[in-house]
Structure 1
């Protein structure tokens, strides 16, 4: 098996393909495989080649915006329009009083209210305002921090204050 031919990554067609793959949700590893490169080599190449980095960035940007907008809409609630087939009956009486029924199907547009989703709201806030909404992880207390071999004992209040200050 011979050496693999390197692609011309300044070629507009190849850059369009990379942009399309990024827009379709492929990971860098997937894009590298499609181009015949290892993920490590492609990652280094992406750092060196601004055209490739820009193709990936511009391919993912519109999709990111769409997803961001949908998360926001789901967080605050929204109205959506749906179509539904409805069966209708027309009852007609002729001059002799005979009844005839004609059935037909019509497509009607309905407005459906989607209530706000708390999970989407939390996700939105934790990502948009992490300083306010991400809880800091508490410092674990190591067994080494707990005093041992104390002849007279220790005042628990002073030990707790010391732990909080650290």
Structure 2
């Protein structure tokens, strides 16, 4: 009679379990700490990780820098992307014998999402803050008068940046002819 092993403590293929593992990895837990949270030895967890590609992928995905994931998602949304969706439904249809039966119909669609201006603005504000920063824009709007013109002081300040400004006045001698 063959010896039967113990049942595993956890379902290493369950999506919710793998999401929990991913979350712990994202929170900065190392393999030893995750093993402790699962009430496993570090050696056993290491063997499980090697034997189970889904567990390995959950750890890997959780340890990716979040900024990279968010940046990639934001870029895709800002420039537009294609989304694939699958809809499954049951339809009653006659078979060859004329009898009605339930048939699963799978419909896959690919939808193109247009570029999102909000995502594009967020991307630009973070990648080129000197050009797209709201504070800069607000300052420019404050410099514009109610009639739509810019004040001479604001224009002079903007155009004299970096130049030597000598505040001495030049006196000219005018003959009263």
The alignment's TM-score, normalised by the length of structure 1, stands at 0.44
The alignment's TM-score, normalised by the length of structure 2, stands at 0.42
Larger relative contact order (C-alpha < 8 A, sep ≥ 6)?
1
